[in-house]
Amino acid sequence: MQPATGQTEWLLLPTVRADVFTIALAQFAQAVGAGPTKRILLVLDQAGWHTSKELVVPEGIHLLFLPPYSPELQPCERLWPLSNEGVANQSFRTLDELEAAQIQRCVVLQNQPEIIRSHTHFHWWPPSHSKHQ
């Protein structure tokens, strides 16, 4: 997610582990074109799967870790209420139904970058300098 533009990349995963996060990082790097000529700074909390020695970080992706216990500094933390709107106050018979509803909500949000921006672009967040916004 780019707070300055509201552009997002979504990937729903079945669990949180270093090997799964490695897959997510590879998918993200490919989606945003990270590599030798395009560098991406990814701001993360210090969850165990983010800091694991087993994590493989693709070329062009650089991880910046926030101080411990500081969720208020993480822009993506402010997306939880938005993403939860698609599943709140509903009952799902299966995990597949829940996943389908969550995917649908992520698609809706991805197509509304101004809503993402309004929730995540803190006044102190640096402006985006990407030529490919």
- pLDDT score of 129 more than 70: no
CB 52 within 8 A of CB 32: no
pLDDT at 12: 79
CA distance 117 to 14: 27
Quickly state the pLDDT bin for 6 (edges 50, 70, 90): confident
- pLDDT score of 63 more than 70: yes
Query: Could you state, in order of their start, the residue ranges of all structural domains in the chain?
Result: 18-120
Rounded to two decimals, the pTM is 0.70
Quickly state the pLDDT bin for 62 (edges 50, 70, 90): very high
pLDDT at 73: 78
CA distance 31 to 12: 15
Distances (CA, A) of 82 to 24, 77, 88, 117, 125: 21, 10, 10, 12, 20
Quickly state the pLDDT bin for 133 (edges 50, 70, 90): very low
* pLDDT single digits (tens) 12-59: 788 889 999 999 999 999 999 999 999 999 889 998 999 999 999 999
8-14: which pairs have CB atoms within 8 A and are 24 or more residues apart? 8/109, 8/110, 8/113, 8/116, 10/106, 10/107, 10/109, 10/110, 12/99, 12/102, 12/103, 12/106
